[in-house]
């Protein structure tokens, strides 16, 4: 399950994100989007968790949680294209 984490602090890094989510379950991959020019965090990232139960638990526990003085927002990322009707691929 892919997770989208936003409202992160600019000092938040990928390893911090991985460590945070591994507390609630297995994390296959985690990445914080970083600006190419400034090498600073853009304030959001992605976490992939193979176990859906742990993923949902991580969402419930980490969504709205205060990290680095800010309340982070955790939700499902890049929802599966179930609705191909609304996804136009030309």
Partner DNA sequence: ACTGAGCGC
Which residues here bind DNA, judged by CB under 7 A? 2, 4, 6-10, 29, 31, 33-34, 37-38, 40, 42-44, 46, 48, 70, 75-78
Least separation in angstroms between residue 55's CB and DNA is 13
Do 22 and 4 touch, CB atoms closer than 8 A? no
The set of residues, in sequence order, having a beta carbon less than 8 Å from that of 27 and lying 6+ positions away, is 18, 21, 47, 48, 49
Phi-psi region of 56 (alpha: psi -120 to 50; beta: other; left: phi over 0): alpha
| Closer by beta carbon to DNA, 61 or else 73 | 73
| Closer by beta carbon to DNA, 28 or else 53 | 28
| Closer by beta carbon to DNA, 22 or else 43 | 43
């Amino acid at each position: 399950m892919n997770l989208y984490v936003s409202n992160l602090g600019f000092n938040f890094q990928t390893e911090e994100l991985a460590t945070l989510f591994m507390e609630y379950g297995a994390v296959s991959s985690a990445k914080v989007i970083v600006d190419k020019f400034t090498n600073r965090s853009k304030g959001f990232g992605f976490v992939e968790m193979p176990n859906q139960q742990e993923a949902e638990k991580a969402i419930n526990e980490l969504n709205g949680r205060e990290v680095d003085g800010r309340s982070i927002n955790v939700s499902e990322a890049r929802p599966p294209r179930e609705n191909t009707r609304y996804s136009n691929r030309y």
